[in-house]
Structure 1
Amino acid sequence: MYRKIVYLLIAAVGVAAGCTKDPAAVTRNDAYASNNYPTSLPNLFATLVPAYGNWRSAELQGFELLCKDFAALEHATELAYGGDPSWTELTVNNLSTNNSYANDLWVGLYRGVKSTEVFFDRADFYEKNYASATEKDAISQMRGEAHFLRALYYFYLETFYGESYISGGQGGDKKGVPIITKVAPDLGTTQVKRNSVKEVWDFIIAELQLSAQQLKGVQWGGNDKGRATEWAAKALLGKAYVFTGDYASAKPILQDIINNSGKQLMPFSKYKDAFNGNSANEYNEESLFEINVDRNALGGYGIFSFPNNLTTSQGLIWSPCIIGDDGTEDNGAGLGYCNEFFNDKNLQRFGFNLPIYTTVANPDFDAGKKGSPKNLPKILDPAYRAQSLAFRSNQTVDPRLYVNAMQPWIDSGSNDGSTWRPICKFIGIGSGQRANFHGWSFKKFVTYDNTIFNRQAAADAANYYLLRLADIYLLYAETLINTGDAAQGLEYINKVKRRAYNYPVNGASPVDYTSLSDKTMAQDATLANNPLRYERWAELFNEGQWWFDVCRWKLGSSEAKYYATSLVGGAINWNDSKSYVWPVPINEINTNSNMTQSSGY
């Protein structure tokens, strides 16, 4: 993400004070003037910036997409707040056509498409009227960025709203999303039909091929280092090929990234701290494309401020909980809104099999003083603590659990940036339900070293990875397995696992899988004997990837059976005829006479 976004106000100038204006000559000061803008290369880049910045909008990574949409769909979280019916629908995978999140995501993604169309329109204008011969390469590179961003927006549109993935050459005739490639000059041109699934994927692939060509060899540094590159385009291209079952085309693209991009898996020492706002880890050796998030925001209420901050407010939703001022869980404190906590079923999948913990009286408690974070009336049962710590040191639990979650009474957080307190059982769970849950807090992408309200109000810290090399390794493994090289495919699965267990990536290790049906940490039928599935679930947990795998591999019913219930929504009732596809928002149906709804709705 372009790091130093410039907020532009393009004003009409040159009219002397006191002059009488012809009403027909009055121009808007809140929009680009299509007859004279842009007139310079920096101005042209300014028209591309919104296509990047839109990813931090409230409907997307700024607030809803990861912590609400993906987290609920994938059951990464357990929702403790029951006051939002649309959110509750997400937790049981049963959306209605008026679901607010389905509407918001559609709007946010198509607004991103529109931003790229504006850039292409202005690039044509600038090339025709102002560009010098020496600027042609820079303009072409910007076009490459815009093609990548447009493909990325359509990738999300199609994976959420397209009626089907393409598998075994089937499904391409189903309804995809409308492809729009020009700025709409009037309302009539917005009345568009849905393209077929195949047409949309073909469009995405063509966009990425062109992007990779236009960005070939381009390297960004300094404040530009978050801009799209050839390797970002190829990474999404390889993913698109895998997602459409075209493994023959995916193989050379993914291999090219692995061999020639210069990227490598970051060491575990960095990986364990790569999701929580450490600026030294941003744009690291594994990252192919990420959304920039600045901790030091402009003040106000995060992304809901004006002007928008270079931040997100997702941390409000899955914020951790710490023991209270009196040293007890009963008066625990939240570091944000505390709407979601770590789903207990995921503890089991990562290999943590201890029962729900108990606390005991603290023998060192000073009864003559009030309880406090330094004078705890109760502590975790010592035997339970010893077992929990042994799980970590002996790696009998997948180490990625502790990258993703924080354990009550073992891990710590702070609500003032200096005093650290034990994590407590999640305070959002009702008192009548608390004994039934482990109640761990989230860690990945979470601000836990200070209450989020002390961070210039609702300002997160961590950049969000959209494409990273571990994902590419696992896509390559899948490709190799499906093109007749199972042994090499298994090796790439093991490379990802080795890093997670802090072993050298390229040599055999004690934790290697010995076959593609070897035992994993999971106990459920979906993942227990499928290392490829398990590694994609565990490695990319809570990064907005697993939902795509659930849909393309048709794992919905087995996932619903495993997670079984939602705290606020009750039973998860999966419906194969509709649950894999989000409905086209009712607002779109009502305003676009050519729009048709997906099957099942």
Structure 2
Amino acid sequence: MKKIVIFSLVVLTAFMFSCSEEWLDTKPKAANSINTFYSETGVNALLTGAYSMLDGHYNNDWGFNQWGGSVTNWVWGSVAADDAYKGSDPSDQQTINDIEQFNVSPSNEYCDSKWRFMYEGVSRCNEILKVTSAVTAEQVSADKKAWFEAQTKVLRAHYYFELTRVFGKVPYIDENTQAPETVKNDKFLFAEIEADLKAAIPSLKTRETDKARITSWAAKAYLAKVYLFQKKYAEAKPLLVDIITNGGFSLMPNYQDNYMIATQNNAESILEVQYAVNDGTDGSLNGGWGDALNFPSAGPSTCCGFFQASRNFANAFKVVEATGLPDFTNWNAPGQEVGGVEYKGAVDPRLDHSIGRPGIPFLDWGIQPINNSWVRDPSNGGPFLFKKSLYKASEKSKATQTGWATGVNANNFRFIRLAHVYLWAAECEVEAGNLDKAREYVNIIRNRAKASAVVTMPDGSPAAKYKVEPYSSFANADEARNAVRLEHRLEFGMEGGRFFDLVRWGIAAQTMQNYLNTEAPRRSYLSGRTFKAGVNEVWPIPQNQIDLSKVNGTSSLTQNTGY
């Protein structure tokens, strides 16, 4: 079940969803009755529509706002953190500037975009559950019905978890809600999210031949992720140990295997968002369109130069040459920054699989020019480019052949992989006081990085002084905790999780204010910016949605503190 635009499935039966003008109205608008879908084929078609919202995009009706809904959370999880700059030039997509600088108003269209796309996913899930509650056993067997419902509940849990991480308290709308515009955002939805995931697990399969479908292992991993966001380490640990011990997953031999089209849906992948290109949609809208801006503006692509690694992020890959361990002391010292090929210090090899640096080979596209000709505006975004989502030159057929966004391609987004599980389990062990077990898990990831192929120059020599070694010990819980957290950043850099990790660890305010202070000399637009503790951990409820929730002149939705 490759990613399919919902309209290609259901317009044929004149059935459409809407949540834009009537907020969260889940009633179908159609000439045909909803009972058109009272069959296995019909329910599966609706389910494909719910899956199709995973990438946070489904058409161009809302203009450029789709970038805010991307499943990769490049805006909310990376640009809003210390991993990345918006990049490009200052005037393009200016609303992201406000997010990067923590100067967001409730009218910011990216907030509205994330809200709309996630509730569109919720709406589609609710419609499925309405249908499955009405079908007979003759129309859909009990086992198939349970399987359809289980996938739907995991998807709904995902959309609500995304809403919760971005906005905090949001209204809970399910298949039984009669007047969604009256529902208040007066509580966190963790209980409802957990309930959907727990209910789904028993009816899901452990493996699927259709790689797009959610398995019981994916649901368990997601439940553990939700627990970790709440610091429920004791609840998360058994799920993670179960996946490690019994899930049948294994790390890929090379770190870069997790970012290549040729090795997607691999042995490490637990939940992967499927992309497809050249499938009949103009511009290949199923090819991770939410990230269509995030490719070089010259060289391998022509659009659009957004999403550039921060200097802070590049510096995080420094290692102490004598030990091969991270440089926790001088990693971000002024005057000692990681740059392009001219930097001669030792670095973790994952650096050059994550970002493009001047003078270093960029996949098989050749050496990234030292004159920054592939960078749209180096004075605004610096010299670095994002590498993980691009296709190889030898895979040009896997990129879109239509549309203006020439970087869009079929490189799936690995949403949860075994490396996540190992490092989440390491977190749990640190909090339980089992530092040796935590070190064991961290070293599994570091040893894979050590054994992985490195980026090489045309003559076959390493492109930089690469080194990474396992930890021999952790002196105390703080040292272990810092090591685990840094490993998260190195392993999953610029994959949209950093900001949410900082929030759940309770260090967002400290880390981001330090970042703003130290990065300002490098990027002047960050000068004088502040992160407000107790405010900026979440984003404003979109003003448009508050206005749409009015009943008798009074809004059901309440704005977040500080906005």
Q: TM-score, normalised by structure 2?
A: 0.79
Quick one: structure 1 residues 97 and 444, their matched pair in 2 at CA, closer, same or farther if it must change by over 3 Å? same
8 A Cα contact 2:228 2:236, kept in partner:
yes
Whether 1:67 and 2:51 are equivalent positions in the alignment is: no
Quick one: structure 1 residues 444 and 534, their matched pair in 2 at CA, closer, same or farther if it must change by over 3 Å? same
Residue matched to 1:346: 313
Residue matched to 2:559: 597
Look up the SS of the partner of 2:136 in the other structure.
Answer: helix
8 A Cα contact 1:583 1:598, kept in partner:
yes
Residue matched to 2:353: 403
8 A Cα contact 1:560 1:573, kept in partner:
yes
8 A Cα contact 1:477 1:489, kept in partner:
yes
Give the distance between the partners of 1:105 and 1:315, measured in 2 at CA. Answer: 14
Whether 1:52 and 2:60 are equivalent positions in the alignment is: no
Look up the SS of the partner of 1:341 in the other structure.
Answer: strand
> Following TM superposition, by how much is the alpha carbon of 1:193 offset from its aligned partner in structure 2, in angstroms?
0.8
Quick one: structure 1 residues 595 and 356, their matched pair in 2 at CA, closer, same or farther if it must change by over 3 Å? closer
Give the distance between the partners of 2:374 and 2:115, measured in 1 at CA. Answer: 33
Give the distance between the partners of 2:71 and 2:90, measured in 1 at CA. Answer: 16
Corresponding residue to 1:225 among 165, 186, 211: 211
Give the distance between the partners of 1:487 and 1:315, measured in 2 at CA. Answer: 39
Whether 1:94 and 2:82 are equivalent positions in the alignment is: no
Quick one: structure 1 residues 64 and 535, their matched pair in 2 at CA, closer, same or farther if it must change by over 3 Å? closer
Aligned 1:189-200 pairs, distance under 5 A: 189-197=180-188, 200=189
Quick one: structure 1 residues 196 and 356, their matched pair in 2 at CA, closer, same or farther if it must change by over 3 Å? closer
Look up the SS of the partner of 1:482 in the other structure.
Answer: helix
Quick one: structure 1 residues 516 and 600, their matched pair in 2 at CA, closer, same or farther if it must change by over 3 Å? farther
Quick one: structure 1 residues 283 and 98, their matched pair in 2 at CA, closer, same or farther if it must change by over 3 Å? same
Give the distance between the partners of 1:32 and 1:312, measured in 2 at CA. Answer: 32
Quick one: structure 1 residues 560 and 81, their matched pair in 2 at CA, closer, same or farther if it must change by over 3 Å? farther
Whether 1:154 and 2:112 are equivalent positions in the alignment is: no
8 A Cα contact 1:399 1:500, kept in partner:
yes
Give the distance between the partners of 2:541 and 2:72, measured in 1 at CA. Answer: 17
Corresponding residue to 1:301 among 283, 290, 306: 283
> Following TM superposition, by how much is the alpha carbon of 1:143 offset from its aligned partner in structure 2, in angstroms?
0.8
Residue matched to 2:293: 317
Quick one: structure 1 residues 203 and 569, their matched pair in 2 at CA, closer, same or farther if it must change by over 3 Å? same
Give the distance between the partners of 2:475 and 2:104, measured in 1 at CA. Answer: 34
Residue matched to 1:548: 500
Whether 1:275 and 2:259 are equivalent positions in the alignment is: yes
8 A Cα contact 2:34 2:131, kept in partner:
no
Give the distance between the partners of 2:373 and 2:385, measured in 1 at CA. Answer: 6
Q: TM-score, normalised by structure 1?
A: 0.75
- Single out whichever of 32-41 and 284-293 deviates more from structure 2: 32-41
Give the distance between the partners of 1:192 and 1:313, measured in 2 at CA. Answer: 32
Give the distance between the partners of 2:48 and 2:487, measured in 1 at CA. Answer: 35
Residue matched to 1:37: 36
> Following TM superposition, by how much is the alpha carbon of 1:219 offset from its aligned partner in structure 2, in angstroms?
2.5
Listed as ranges, the gaps of 5+ residues in structure 1 are: 14-27, 163-175, 304-309, 324-332, 359-379, 520-525
8 A Cα contact 2:88 2:307, kept in partner:
yes
Residue matched to 2:513: 560
Give the distance between the partners of 2:513 and 2:121, measured in 1 at CA. Answer: 32
Give the distance between the partners of 1:468 and 1:461, measured in 2 at CA. Answer: 18
Give the distance between the partners of 2:264 and 2:212, measured in 1 at CA. Answer: 9
Whether 1:261 and 2:247 are equivalent positions in the alignment is: yes
8 A Cα contact 1:335 1:452, kept in partner:
no
Aligned 1:82-231 pairs, distance under 5 A: 82-83=90-91, 84-127=93-136, 130-131=138-139, 135-162=141-168, 176-182=169-175, 188-197=179-188, 200-215=189-204, 217-221=205-209, 224-231=210-217
Look up the SS of the partner of 2:135 in the other structure.
Answer: helix
Residue matched to 2:20: none
Q: Which amino acid counterpart does residue 303 of structure 2 have in structure 1?
A: G
Give the distance between the partners of 1:298 and 1:516, measured in 2 at CA. Answer: 54
Residue matched to 2:323: none
Look up the SS of the partner of 2:410 in the other structure.
Answer: coil
Give the distance between the partners of 2:392 and 2:476, measured in 1 at CA. Answer: 36
Quick one: structure 1 residues 253 and 454, their matched pair in 2 at CA, closer, same or farther if it must change by over 3 Å? closer
Give the distance between the partners of 2:362 and 2:237, measured in 1 at CA. Answer: 43
Quick one: structure 1 residues 412 and 266, their matched pair in 2 at CA, closer, same or farther if it must change by over 3 Å? closer
8 A Cα contact 2:398 2:409, kept in partner:
yes
Deviations 1:353-374 (A, max 9, x none): 896899xxxxxxxxxxxxxxxx
Give the distance between the partners of 2:233 and 2:336, measured in 1 at CA. Answer: 43
Look up the SS of the partner of 1:231 in the other structure.
Answer: helix
8 A Cα contact 1:184 1:190, kept in partner:
no
Quick one: structure 1 residues 289 and 65, their matched pair in 2 at CA, closer, same or farther if it must change by over 3 Å? closer
Q: Which amino acid counterpart does residue 144 of structure 2 have in structure 1?
A: A
Residue matched to 1:499: 448
Give the distance between the partners of 1:455 and 1:517, measured in 2 at CA. Answer: 54
Give the distance between the partners of 2:274 and 2:429, measured in 1 at CA. Answer: 33
> Following TM superposition, by how much is the alpha carbon of 1:61 offset from its aligned partner in structure 2, in angstroms?
8.4
> Following TM superposition, by how much is the alpha carbon of 1:551 offset from its aligned partner in structure 2, in angstroms?
0.7
> Following TM superposition, by how much is the alpha carbon of 1:460 offset from its aligned partner in structure 2, in angstroms?
2.0
Quick one: structure 1 residues 408 and 297, their matched pair in 2 at CA, closer, same or farther if it must change by over 3 Å? farther
8 A Cα contact 1:342 1:441, kept in partner:
yes
Corresponding residue to 2:485 among 526, 533, 543: 533
Give the distance between the partners of 1:283 and 1:469, measured in 2 at CA. Answer: 12
Give the distance between the partners of 1:429 and 1:517, measured in 2 at CA. Answer: 45
> Following TM superposition, by how much is the alpha carbon of 1:443 offset from its aligned partner in structure 2, in angstroms?
0.5
Look up the SS of the partner of 1:474 in the other structure.
Answer: helix
Quick one: structure 1 residues 75 and 276, their matched pair in 2 at CA, closer, same or farther if it must change by over 3 Å? farther
Give the distance between the partners of 2:113 and 2:273, measured in 1 at CA. Answer: 19
RMSD over aligned CA atoms reads: 3.4
Quick one: structure 1 residues 355 and 251, their matched pair in 2 at CA, closer, same or farther if it must change by over 3 Å? closer
Give the distance between the partners of 1:225 and 1:422, measured in 2 at CA. Answer: 34
Listed as ranges, the gaps of 5+ residues in structure 2 are: 15-26, 58-65, 320-330, 454-466, 550-554
Residue matched to 1:511: 469
Q: Which amino acid counterpart does residue 56 of structure 1 have in structure 2?
A: D
Residue matched to 2:460: none
Deviations 1:432-467 (A, max 9, x none): x38xx8602210112453699864333323101111
Whether 1:245 and 2:198 are equivalent positions in the alignment is: no
Q: State the percentage of identical aligned residues.
A: 25
